[in-house]
Structure 1
């Protein structure tokens, strides 16, 4: 499969122009940075505390911005033109994700810097953060394909913010409310469990479950995204 770098770069440039003009969307990138700075000044030095701002970044930057970019294409009736262009599905989906990917990585790095979070094994954590970024962007793309307007995308993304960003905080209540045990399978929770494992004497076995669960979430979400995308290509 040959990918056209020029086509993907063209989509990236177009998205950047749209993103920079929409202050309501672009201003969201500052929220996780402010949260990380506040947590740092409060003396929060736990893994879960550090990952509050990181998981917020994934939801309000990776998912929300990506959802808005896709929804804006639909609102302006340019997504169908893009679908019917010579660009292939991978070129369009990758191109539409490049800006969000770059911005998310920069904000995550900024949050880690402001929170003074230094993982014991940076290389493993980087891989986990990159995989998580891919997952949340895929979720944003999927939601954007369902949203009809940018305003609607702002609403449809709220459950993701609540579930994936705030879900891990429910872990402490699992003993009292067994039904909350399902939050342990969230990619955001697995990311925290992975980070906690890295702070101890971990083995390869400790890494298998978090990475496997995150990868499964990525595969399922990307599969659903491609199906919905292809369906919208033939919808009247």
Structure 2
């Protein structure tokens, strides 16, 4: 199956223009950076503190911005036109996610830089961060497909925001409430687990397991997103 880079580029440029005109959504991307700078001024941050700003970058940029971009298309009824265009599903989804991907990488980089986070295993962490970016964008796309407007998208994204951002902290109470141990398998929790395990002695399996778990989440959410997209396209 041939993929047209021209179509992906055209969708990317359109999204960039729409994004730059939306002041409220544009301002959101600076919040994780400001939080990272604030945490750095508080003293020596822990791994959990570092990843509070990084996971917030994923939630606010990769998920929230992506959700709003999709919802805005639906609100203007332009997503329907895009679905009926010659562009393939994969081209539309890649094009719609490209801006969020670029923005997320930039924001995550500056969040890590300002909080002075230095991974013990740079290669493994970069791979995990890139995979996490894809996961959060997929979640944003999925939620956007269920939203009819930007206002509705802002509400739709809240449960995912709470789950993925605060889920890792819930794991600390798993001894008292065993059911909370399920949150350990969230991509955000696995990312923190990878960061912690690489700080000390570790094996290849210790690095591989979190990456495989995040990859499994990507496959599941991506397949679900593609199915919902195809269903809405045929309706």
- TM-score of the pair, normalised by structure 1: 0.98
The answer to whether the 8 Å contact 2:15/2:69 transfers is: yes
Aligned position for 1:21:
21
CA distance in 2, matches of 1:30, 1:142: 24
In the other structure, the counterpart of 2:4 is 4
Aligned counterpart, 2:212: 212
Determine the structure 2 residue equivalent to 1:130.
Answer: 130
Taking the TM superposition and a 5 Å limit, the aligned residue runs for 1:91-102 are 91-102=91-102
Partner of 2:54: 54
Once the two structures are superposed, what CA deviation does each residue of 1:133-189 show, in whole Å capped at 9, x if it has no partner?
000000000000000111000000001111001111112211111111111010000
CA drift at 1:208: 2.5
| 1:82 corresponding residue in structure 2 | 82
1:167 touches 1:189 (CA, 8 Å); kept in 2? yes
CA distance in 1, matches of 2:179, 2:67: 30
- Aligned-residue CA RMSD (Å): 0.8
Report deviation, 1:234.
1.4
Contact 1:40 1:114 in 2 (8 A): yes
Please state how far the C-alpha of 1:108 moved relative to its aligned partner: 0.2
Task: Tell me the distance in 1 between the aligned counterparts of 2:171 and 2:139.
Answer: 23
Note the C-alpha offset of 1:86.
Answer: 1.0
1:149-168 to 2 correspondence within 5 Å?
Answer: 149-168=149-168
- The aligned counterpart of 1:147 is 147
Contact preservation (8 Å) 1:44, 1:50:
no
Segments of 4+ moved more than 6 angstroms = none
Q: What's the offset of the Cα at 1:201? A: 1.9
SS of residue paired to 2:30: helix
Report if the CA contact (8 A) 2:124-2:207 is conserved: no
Judge conservation of contact 2:194–2:207 (CA < 8 Å) in 1. Answer: yes
Shift of 1:45: 2.1
192-201 or 101-110: bigger deviation: 192-201
Task: Report SS of the residue matched to 2:29.
Answer: helix
1:54 shift after superposition = 0.4
> What is residue 119 of structure 1 aligned with on the other side?
119
Task: Give 1:193-232 correspondences, 5 Å limit.
Answer: 193-232=193-232
Do the aligned residues in 2 keep the contact of 1:183 with 1:189 (CA within 8 Å)? yes
Aligned to 1:68: 68
Match of 1:182 in 2: 182
SS in 2 for 1:157: helix
Moved more, 13-22 or 163-172: 163-172
Measure the CA separation in 2 of the matches of 1:226 and 1:205.
31
**Distance between the aligned counterparts of 1:163 and 1:149, measured in 2?**
22
Query: Which residue matches 2:170?
Result: 170
Deviation (angstroms), 1:212: 1.6
**Runs of at least 5 residues in structure 2 that lack an aligned partner in the other structure:** none
